[in-house]
């Protein structure tokens, strides 16, 4: 069984920074992609940033230039460096990964429990 554990959330003032981490563990054969989603109260969940095993990245337009996604394949870990945080970034951030648990097994999407990020003065 695979599990994803996020860490690094918290309360920061506007303009501050946070670094989120997500570590995958369990029966992992290959991780094709990892990413971060967020959901604010009463809002739809949206993709923030993704990164493939080959290093290709995508970003939500509103976070480009402020957030950076990176990975450590050896540690099965993805990071999200968030700078110049704004109140609109307040949300629960969820880690997502596409993982195959065996060479003959199809990839499946896994989700972390979420970590709260609050940007407020």
- The predicted pLDDT at position 1 comes to 87
- How is the chain classified by DSSP, letter by letter? -EEEEEE--EEE-TT--EEEEEEEEES-SEEEEEEEEEE-TTS--EEEEEEETT--EEE-GGGTTTEEEEEEGGGTEEEEEE-S--GGG-EEEEEEEEEESSTTS--EEEE---EEEEE--
One pLDDT digit (tens) per residue for the chain, 121 residues: 899 999 999 999 999 999 999 999 999 999 999 999 999 999 999 999 999 989 999 999 999 999 999 999 899 999 999 999 999 999 999 999 999 999 998 999 999 999 999 999 9
Please give the distance of CA 53 from its chain centroid, rounded to a whole number. 14
Joined tokens for residue 15: 């303009």
Structure tokens at 55: 């290093």
> How far apart are the C-alpha atoms of 70 and 22, rounded to whole Å?
11
């Amino acid at each position: 069984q695979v599990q994803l554990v996020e860490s690094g959330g918290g309360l920061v003032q506007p303009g501050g920074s946070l670094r989120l981490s997500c570590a995958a563990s369990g029966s992992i054969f290959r991780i094709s992609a990892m990413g971060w989603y967020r959901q604010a109260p009463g809002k739809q969940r949206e993709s923030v940033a993704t990164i493939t095993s080959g290093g290709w990245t995508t970003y939500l337009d509103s976070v480009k230039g402020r957030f950076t996604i990176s990975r450590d394949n050896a540690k099965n870990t993805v990071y999200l460096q968030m700078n110049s945080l704004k109140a609109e970034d307040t949300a629960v951030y969820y880690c997502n990964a596409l993982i195959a648990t065996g060479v003959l097994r199809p990839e499946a999407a896994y989700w972390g429990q979420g970590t709260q990020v609050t940007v407020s003065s």
